[in-house]
Amino acid sequence: MNQSEKINIKDIFLPPNLASLARILITPFVGYFLWLGTEKATLICVILLAIAALTDFLDGFLARRLNQITRLGLILDPLADKILTIVLIIELIFFRNFPLWLAILILARDIVIMILASGVIKKHDSVPASNLTGKYYFGSIAFLLISYVMNFKFGIMLFLYIVIILMLLSSINYGRIFWRIKNGQEIAAFKDKTIYKTGRILLSVVIIGLYLYRLYLDNPF
pLDDT computed for residue 64 by the predictor: 80
Residue 211: phi and psi, rounded to 5, are -60, -50
Phi-psi region of 73 (alpha: psi -120 to 50; beta: other; left: phi over 0): alpha
Can you list the domains of the chain with their CATH numbers?
A: 9-218 (1.20.120)
Yes or no: say if 146 and 30 are a contact pair by the CB < 8 Å rule.
Answer: no
Distance of CA 24 to the CA centre of its chain: 12
Q: What is the per-residue DSSP string for 18-79? A: HHHHHHHHHHHHHHHHHHH--HHHHHHHHHHHHHHHHHHHHHHHHHHHTT---HHHHHHHHH
Q: Please give the model's pTM, rounded to 2 decimal places.
A: 0.78
Give the Cα-Cα-Cα angle 102, 100, 31 (nearest 5 degrees). 95
Give the Cα-Cα-Cα angle 93, 24, 160 (nearest 5 degrees). 35
pLDDT computed for residue 5 by the predictor: 55
pLDDT computed for residue 127 by the predictor: 54
Residues of the chain with pLDDT under 70: 1-6, 117, 119-131, 181-182, 184-192, 220-221
pLDDT digits (tens, 9 = 90+) for 162-184: 999 999 988 888 777 777 766 76
pLDDT computed for residue 102 by the predictor: 94
Residue 134: phi and psi, rounded to 5, are -65, -40
